[in-house]
Structure 1
Amino acid sequence: MNGVMKPKVIATEKAPGAVGPYSQGMNAGPFIYVSGQLPINSATGEHYTEIEQAAKQSLSNCLAIVEAGGGTLETIVKVEIFIRDMSLFSRMNAVYAEFFGDHKPARAAVEVSKLPLDAVIEIQMIAFTGTHS
């Protein structure tokens, strides 16, 4: 590729495997791109439907992929949340605030009509592991 670095697939057993033709995440240069994560516990296969538990599981799945790519919670720079019912936003947001603590990545949260496997939430992330130029 004429000196251009090829992105690397990130895979970990600490998050659910992809349910389609995509990877859990990609490491491209100084960035880690995490595919949308549903609230599925990879150890038990349980699919959480209660928003607090679901949000925590989706966030934990994303973080496991970030860590597998060499990042940490503090390197997460962008979070995108897809939630089926915006009336659950404040409950989800409380879990989100506890998960990130003082770290405040950029974020978007949108209500969607349907998610894969009828999930109540799906979360994706971008982390930055390089140096600022």
Structure 2
Amino acid sequence: MQIVSTDRAPQAIGPYSQAIASEGWLHTSGQIPLTAAGEKVAGDIATQTEQVFDNLEAVLAAGGAALAQVVSVNVYMTDLGEFAQMNEVFARRFGGHRPARSTVQVAALPTGARVEIAAVARLIR
């Protein structure tokens, strides 16, 4: 098992790692709309989702993976009424790749975020 870390994404805000690589798999922690410097990104759900994907791609790259290797994703949103806008960003960022996905509404997310995304990728070496 290997801890994966990058300064191109926000550092963990608790006792966890940005990602863990284990036995050919990369498990990312949930990414929220913070800049790499740890500043909260304000704006609508599309803006926040774009930042989440920037963070997710940085963590995946640090672990030797890319969005094309993601096999499953968990999306947490504070308002499923914003699903269509989040989904537009999600579809564009993944392109033709379609990982398995769960999307759930939650009461709240850290730092007042509106969206959080965690992913599992298959490492190809």
Q: 2:53 aligns with which of 55, 59, 73?
A: 59
Number of residue pairs matched? 125
Q: Report if aligned partners of 1:79, 1:125 keep a CA contact under 8 Å in 2.
A: yes
Match of 1:36, as an amino acid? G
Q: Report if aligned partners of 1:80, 1:123 keep a CA contact under 8 Å in 2.
A: yes
Residue in structure 2 matched with residue 3 of structure 1 by the alignment:
none
Q: Counterpart of 2:30 in 1: which secondary structure?
A: strand
Residue in structure 2 matched with residue 105 of structure 1 by the alignment:
99
Identity of aligned residues (%): 35
Q: List structure 1 segments (4+ residues) > 6 angstroms apart after TM superposition.
A: none
Q: Counterpart of 2:117 in 1: which secondary structure?
A: strand
Residue in structure 2 matched with residue 17 of structure 1 by the alignment:
11
For the pair 1:39 / 2:33, whether they are aligned, the reply is yes
Q: How far does residue 73 in structure 1 lie from its aligned partner after superposition?
A: 1.6
Q: How far does residue 45 in structure 1 lie from its aligned partner after superposition?
A: 2.1
Q: Aligned-pair RMSD on alpha carbons?
A: 1.4
Q: Report if aligned partners of 1:84, 1:120 keep a CA contact under 8 Å in 2.
A: yes
In structure 2, C-alpha distance between the alignment counterparts of 1:60 and 1:98, rounded to whole Å: 13
* Structure 1: runs of 5+ lacking an equivalent: 1-6
- After superposition, the Cα gap between the structure-2 partners of 1:43 and 1:117, relative to the gap in structure 1 and judged at 3 Å, is closer
Q: TM-score, normalised by structure 2?
A: 0.94
* Structure 2: runs of 5+ lacking an equivalent: none
Match of 1:93, as an amino acid? N
Q: How far does residue 43 in structure 1 lie from its aligned partner after superposition?
A: 4.5
